Every structure is written in structure tokens, then in C-alpha cells.
């Protein structure tokens, strides 16, 4: 039961769309975008930067481009810059919705104000704040940092597993107490417990469906940007070793 609930929440949180199986796209480097530039780096080392009107520098050195190359470079930077904030907001929305879903579902089991019902939602909110500290370090700046996201996911999984594990343990304890209380038949008690667990699953599934359409749209956007990137790296050989998408 505990593993089932974790899997359900994980499905809701599979929101870095670049990691989803249906997208099959991986981001290779860190991305920072502002209204003026696209910066691609690795472990704080600048790989390349594209600024307004398609001006390009690789490794800190300016690259001379033709008008056609510059137009393509500017177009690519604009598409990536538009996508990154959408990805960040989708992760935010997933964490918010998952936290609210768990709170509503578990409150129905443990009651209002119970630590067991509020702890998973609190873990989600703390994860959202931590994610934003990196993803939106200041106004108008958006960042996707691959290594930070991996550690963020691992930390969230550990926090969530502990919180949900405590809740599941308490549920099992409640079920055991109900079975030995002498009130009602064993079958009735099992059916009542099963109904409560179904409500938990339905709440999470309903929340996940709200985000699915947006996730699908971002997947399609990423596929189109990857195609554009292939065109760019062919037209501008200096960028061949720095593909963002794989």
C-alpha cells in the first residue's frame, strides 16, 4: 500500500518533461535565460552565450556569424528562453497540486490538523521552495541546473517516502485496531478501509490529469527545439560540441 501511494505521487511529479519516457529527451547542460540572453554552462563554466540579435560567444570568445546564421541563432535562443520558464512553472504546479492532493486525501483519514496528514504536504512545499531558490534565483532569471535537479529529486523522494511511510503505518495500525474492536464484521471493516484508500488514489489521479495536457504540449515544444538545434549546429559548427538536447 505504501509503495502504491509513492508510485502514484511519483507519477504526478514526473514533471521535468525532459525526463519522461514519452519525451525521451535529456538536457545535457545547465541553462540560464533572461530577457536579454541564453547562457549554457557546465558546473559554472560558460560553454556558450547568445545575446540579443543572435550574437554568439563560445567559451567567452565572440563568433563571427553571417546574417543568416545570426537569425537562426536568435530564433533558437528565443525558443529555448520561452520554454525554460514554462518547465519551471510546470514543476512548481506539480509540487503544489501534489501537496494539496496529499493534504486533502490524508486529512480525510486522520482528521484536520493531524501531523500525519500535514507532513507530506509540508515536504512538498519545502521542496517547491528549494527548487525555486535555484530555478528562479532573482526576478527575470530562470535556471535549469541538471545536477541540482537530480539531488533535489533524491531529497524529495527521501522526505516523501518517510512522510508517506509514517502515514501508511498509522493507517495499517488503524485498520488493525478496527479489526479487533468487535464493531461490525471483518468484511465491512476491510471494505471501509479500501474505500478510504480509493479516495486517496482518485485525488492524486485527478490532480495528475490536470497537468497532463500542459506536459504533453511542452514535450512537443522540446521535440521541435531539438530539431531546430540540429539545424543550428549544422549551420554554426562552433556549437556542435554543445548540444543542449539529446
Q: Give the Cα separation of 73 and 236 in Å (integer).
A: 9
Q: Please report, for residues 159, 199, 206, the alpha-carbon distance to residue 175 in angstroms, rounded to integers and kept in the order given.
A: 25, 16, 26
> Which of the 8 DSSP states describes residue 190?
H
82-121 confidence digits (pLDDT tens):
999 988 888 888 778 777 777 776 676 666 777 766 777 7
pLDDT of residue 183: 53
pLDDT of residue 13: 47
pLDDT band at residue 172 using 50, 70 and 90 as cut-offs? low
Of 28 and 32, more confident:
32
Lowest mean pLDDT among 66-70, 138-142, 170-174: 170-174
Cα torsion 187, 193, 195, 201: sign: negative
Site of grid cell 549554457: 40
204-238 confidence digits (pLDDT tens):
676 667 677 777 788 888 889 999 999 999 999 99
User: pTM value?
Assistant: 0.74
Radius of gyration of the chain (CA): 23
Residues 6+ apart with CB under 8 A from 211: 12, 15, 90, 93, 94, 97
**Do 107 and 117 form a contact (C-beta atoms < 8 A)?**
yes
39-64 confidence digits (pLDDT tens):
999 988 999 999 999 999 999 999 99
Amino acid at each position: 500500500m505504501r509503495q502504491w501511494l509513492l508510485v502514484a505521487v511519483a507519477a504526478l511529479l514526473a514533471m521535468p518533461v525532459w525526463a519522461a519516457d514519452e519525451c525521451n529527451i535529456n538536457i545535457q547542460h545547465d541553462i540560464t535565460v533572461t530577457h536579454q540572453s541564453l547562457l549554457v554552462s557546465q558546473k559554472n563554466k560558460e560553454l556558450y552565450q547568445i545575446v540579443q540579435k543572435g550574437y554568439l560567444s563560445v567559451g567567452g570568445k565572440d563568433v563571427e556569424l553571417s546574417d543568416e546564421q545570426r537569425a537562426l541563432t536568435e530564433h533558437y535562443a528565443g525558443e529555448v528562453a520561452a520554454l525554460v520558464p514554462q518547465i519551471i512553472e510546470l514543476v512548481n504546479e506539480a509540487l503544489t497540486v501534489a501537496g494539496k492532493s496529499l493534504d486533502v486525501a490524508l486529512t480525510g483519514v486522520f482528521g484536520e490538523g493531524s501531523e500525519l496528514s500535514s507532513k507530506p504536504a509540508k515536504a512538498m512545499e519545502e521542496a517547491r521552495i528549494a527548487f525555486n531558490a535555484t530555478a528562479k534565483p532573482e526576478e527575470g532569471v530562470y535556471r535549469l541546473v541538471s545536477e541540482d535537479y537530480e539531488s533535489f529529486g533524491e531529497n524529495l523522494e527521501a522526505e516523501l517516502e518517510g512522510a508517506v511511510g509514517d502515514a501508511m503505518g498509522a493507517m495499517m495500525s488503524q485498520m488493525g485496531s478496527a479489526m479487533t474492536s468487535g464493531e461490525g464484521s471483518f468484511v465491512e471493516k476491510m471494505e471501509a478501509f479500501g474505500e478510504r484508500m480509493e479516495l486517496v488514489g482518485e485525488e492524486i489521479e485527478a490532480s495528475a490529469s490536470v497537468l497532463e495536457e500542459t506536459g504533453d504540449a511542452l514535450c512537443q515544444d522540446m521535440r521541435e527545439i531539438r530539431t531546430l538545434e540540429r539545424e543550428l549546429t549544422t549551420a554554426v559548427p562552433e556549437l556542435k560540441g554543445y548540444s543542449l538536447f539529446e
